[in-house]
Amino acid sequence: MSKTIFSIFIFLVAVNLVPTVHGKKLVPCFFVFGDSLVDNGNNNDRDTVANANFLPYGIDYPNGPTGRFTNGRNVADFIAEALGFTDHIPSFATAKGGDAVVNGTNYASGSAGILNGTGKEFGDVISLDEQLQNHQTTITRSTSMFGSAHVAKTHLGQCIYYVGMGSNDYAAYTMNPDRPSPDHYASLLIDNYSRQLRELYGYGARKVAVFGLGAIGCVPATHHVYGTLCMSATKTMSGVFNTKLRSLINVLNQDLDGAKFTYIDTFGIAASKTTSFRYPDLECCTVNVGGTCIPQGVACRDRAYFAYFDGYHPTEAAAAVLAKRAFAARSPSDAYPFDIQHLVQV
């Protein structure tokens, strides 16, 4: 595929995410819980090395470096655009005024995980439990704005929620010499995740897209460890978790009245989408020993050809493909029981 044709392809992927009714939001608000895949600045002013508010991160983002761990937009940004939001959802750290409360908030934090201790070796990161606590603050603001807890909860029940956690928990798992069996660890994570997702439901969330683990063992930072065994190693680490998570979605929908949880198969989409990139397992920027971009370092020129920007995080081009298939499934396995555009309608 020529450079020109490939660039047109990526442009069309992004454009086709935008709703057909220009300027009309499909839902009143969009909330984001997660890690560095969707962090848009919550770690910037915290005491942590897990941040990305410097070039070459943000080299293709209109506002430059914002704390996004990629060259431009991330998955949550593309989904927000697909939902009809004209501005990207603000980080909790910067969210101010009524618009941020009404339209939604991004709570994601780089290096954070399902377990409270995950990522703490990198500094003051915001675990999923802490992100849920921050959401309580938003709920309090919403209740004050709407003048009624009932009205606020009704509003929140119409919103879309993005939740994507677990990658950093598995990074910690691989470094633990006394780690439990894959099945035991996955069960530990799922038990905690179930509690957290039920808590989110208790706060009024009804339409929740839960993203499974991607090909965490195949990112450039770890590819040299697994080599040709990359995919099988990844399945060992995260496959059991994804299977259990998909089952949990069924349980939540059965147990919780009015709940519409859906599972996004990040692993399957990631495994197939990299075939469209010339460089599916190389980082685009010059990285340090930890796999993140060197501050003010060099970034590759042909970023649309790369699946990964640094040693762990997708480029804007790769994020666009994942977001597109999460929003409008290309295969029945991409999303279960429905993709995000159908989640809006149920």
Clarify whether 257 is annotated catalytic. no
Assign 42 to helix, strand or coil.
coil
Closest CA to 109 of 96, 97, 100, 122: 122
Give the rounded percent of residues in the chain with a pLDDT score beyond 90.
71
Q: What is the mean pLDDT of residues 129-142?
A: 94
Residue predicted with more confidence, 328 or 142:
328
Long-range contacts of 256-259 (CB under 8 A, 24+ apart): 256/198, 256/201, 258/157, 258/206, 259/201, 259/206, 259/208
pLDDT interval class at 218 (50, 70, 90): confident
Residue 120, judged by CB atoms within 10 A of its CB (0-12, 13-18, 19+), counts as middle
pLDDT interval class at 82 (50, 70, 90): very high
State the catalytic residue, choosing from 60, 265, 310, 334: 310
Closest CA to 261 of 212, 318, 328: 212
Residue predicted with more confidence, 179 or 315:
315
pLDDT, residue 221, reads 86
Assign 309 to helix, strand or coil.
coil
State the catalytic residue, choosing from 265, 313, 334, 339: 313
Cis-peptide into 19, omega within 30 deg: no
Residue predicted with more confidence, 30 or 175:
30
CA dihedral sign of residues 82, 71, 331, 346: negative
State the DSSP string of 75-118.
HHHHHHHHTT-SSPPPBTTT--HHHHHHH--B---TT--SSTTT
State the catalytic residue, choosing from 35, 36, 39, 60: 36
Q: What is the mean pLDDT of residues 18-33?
A: 77
Give me the amino acid identity at 170.
Y
Clarify whether 313 is annotated catalytic. yes
Within 123-197, strands assigned E span 160-164
Phi, psi of 329 (to 5 degrees): -60, 135
Average of per-residue pLDDT values in the chain: 89
Q: End-to-end alpha-carbon separation of the chain, Å?
A: 39
Q: What is the mean pLDDT of residues 1-9?
A: 39
pLDDT, residue 272, reads 77
Question: Could you report the per-residue pLDDT of 147-174, keeping only the tens digit for each?
Answer: 898 898 899 999 999 999 999 999 898 8
The pairing of strands 160-164 and 207-211 is parallel
pLDDT interval class at 8 (50, 70, 90): very low
* Range with the poorest average pLDDT among 12-16, 222-226, 283-287: 12-16
d(CA 290, CA 310): 10
CA dihedral sign of residues 333, 345, 80, 68: negative
Clarify whether 310 is annotated catalytic. yes
Residue predicted with more confidence, 178 or 251:
251
Q: Judge whether 160 and 207 are in contact, CB under 8 Å.
A: yes
Whether residue 286 is predicted with pLDDT greater than 50 in this model: the reply is yes
pLDDT, residue 342, reads 98
Q: Going by C-beta distance under 8 Å and a sequence separation of 6 or more, which residues neighbour residue 217?
A: 225, 226, 230, 231, 233, 234, 237, 238
Q: Which two tokens stand for residue 172?
A: 């910690």
Whether residue 229 is predicted with pLDDT greater than 70 in this model: the reply is no
pLDDT interval class at 101 (50, 70, 90): confident
State the DSSP string of 251-301.
HHHHHSTT-EEEEE-HHHHHHHHGGGSSEEEEESB-B-TTSSBPTT--B-S
pLDDT, residue 9, reads 38
pLDDT, residue 224, reads 63
Q: Which two tokens stand for residue 185?
A: 């660890």
pLDDT interval class at 273 (50, 70, 90): low
Domain 3-345 sits in CATH at 3.40.50.1110
- Quote the pTM value: 0.92
d(CA 219, CA 291): 10
Residue predicted with more confidence, 219 or 263:
263
d(CA 128, CA 166): 10
Whether residue 276 is predicted with pLDDT greater than 60 in this model: the reply is yes
Residue predicted with more confidence, 149 or 74:
74
pLDDT, residue 166, reads 97
